[in-house]
Structure 1
Amino acid sequence: MSRSVSLFTTLIRTHHITSRKKLARVKKAAESHHLHVLVRSCGSPGIMYAEGPDAVAINTWVSFVQALRYKDFQCPRKPVCHEILADGRINDAGFEEVASVAEFGKRMEQRGLGGWWRIGMGYEYPDE
């Protein structure tokens, strides 16, 4: 059974994520800020999603990732509070890594953020 919780979320897009050293630092920073992070690595595009109960922690983590100087770093979805579908484990601090954009999209759908993610990635345009 899913329930909805309010968490701060952000989305980062880069050209690619292949460096295991940088990824280890991203993971360590997520753990130190008690965030849940989902990463699409192993090629292009590189995608990172983070969620947590604290806006300051999310903003600090985004600044840390930006300082790693990933090629073509973009934060198309700035940190903001969202209602996330939680199944008891989604909002726990942790680190998940997926190898495909399709799997990343599936995880976003599970959180109730499918449209938010597609617009952030440029796959859809917002209704105006």
Structure 2
Amino acid sequence: MSQGAKGIFAALIRTHHITSRKKLARVKKAAAFYNLHVLIRSGGSPGIMYAEGPDEVSVSSWVNMVQGLRYKDFQCAQKPAAHQVRGAVDQTRNGGFEEVASVTEFGERMEQRGLGSWWRIGMGYKASD
């Protein structure tokens, strides 16, 4: 493992849009409950959610909860799986919830974590290797 990298489980969800503050409050509460770090792209189409945590069970449970909120066109674009990430390790360890307004900023966050290619494949921007 490279210096500064950390093993985590991560999942990526795509939806038509994320605008309901009430649903987002439930997503945030579940992230805290499962001690996950969650990044959301809200405010329009597409809606994107990324979650990472220390174990597959927690991330899968969170994905199932989000699916139960019945977001339009819900797709688990990248199912919970183990990854090596870099950056913001303390934030991951302590849970956390971040919200960004643009797909570009979301993509930049994925690049910073070393998950750019994984994210582009999940979003359908790049063919899987």
What TM-score does the superposition give when structure 2 sets the normalisation length?
A: 0.94
Quote the Cα distance in structure 1 between the aligned partners of 2:103 and 2:12: 13
Cα deviation for residue 43 of structure 1 reads: 0.5
Per-residue displacement from partner, 1:80-115 (whole Å, max 9, x unpaired)? 000011344342300000000000000000000000
Is this contact kept in 2: 1:11–1:75, CA < 8 A? yes
The unaligned stretches of length 5 or more in structure 2 are none
Is this contact kept in 2: 1:4–1:86, CA < 8 A? yes
Give the match's secondary structure for 1:89.
helix
Which residue number corresponds to residue 47 of structure 2?
A: 46
Is this contact kept in 2: 1:18–1:43, CA < 8 A? yes
Is this contact kept in 2: 1:3–1:87, CA < 8 A? no
Which residue number corresponds to residue 10 of structure 2?
A: 9
Quote the Cα distance in structure 1 between the aligned partners of 2:70 and 2:8: 26
Is this contact kept in 1: 2:10–2:51, CA < 8 A? yes
* Regions of 4+ moved over 2 Å: 86-90
Please, what is the CA RMSD of the aligned residues? Answer: 1.0
- The answer to whether residue 10 in structure 2 is matched with residue 20 in structure 1 is no
Instruction: For 2:126, give the aligned amino acid.
Output: E
Cα deviation for residue 64 of structure 1 reads: 0.1
Which residue number corresponds to residue 110 of structure 2?
A: 108
Which residue number corresponds to residue 123 of structure 1?
A: 125
Is this contact kept in 2: 1:11–1:47, CA < 8 A? yes
- 1:59-98 equivalences under 5 Å are 59-92=60-93, 93-98=95-100
What TM-score does the superposition give when structure 1 sets the normalisation length?
A: 0.95
Instruction: For 2:47, give the aligned amino acid.
Output: G
Quote the Cα distance in structure 1 between the aligned partners of 2:112 and 2:91: 9
Q: Percent identity?
A: 66
Instruction: For 1:97, give the aligned amino acid.
Output: E
Quote the Cα distance in structure 2 between the aligned partners of 1:47 and 1:67: 16
Count of residue pairs the alignment pairs up:
126
Instruction: For 2:108, give the aligned amino acid.
Output: K
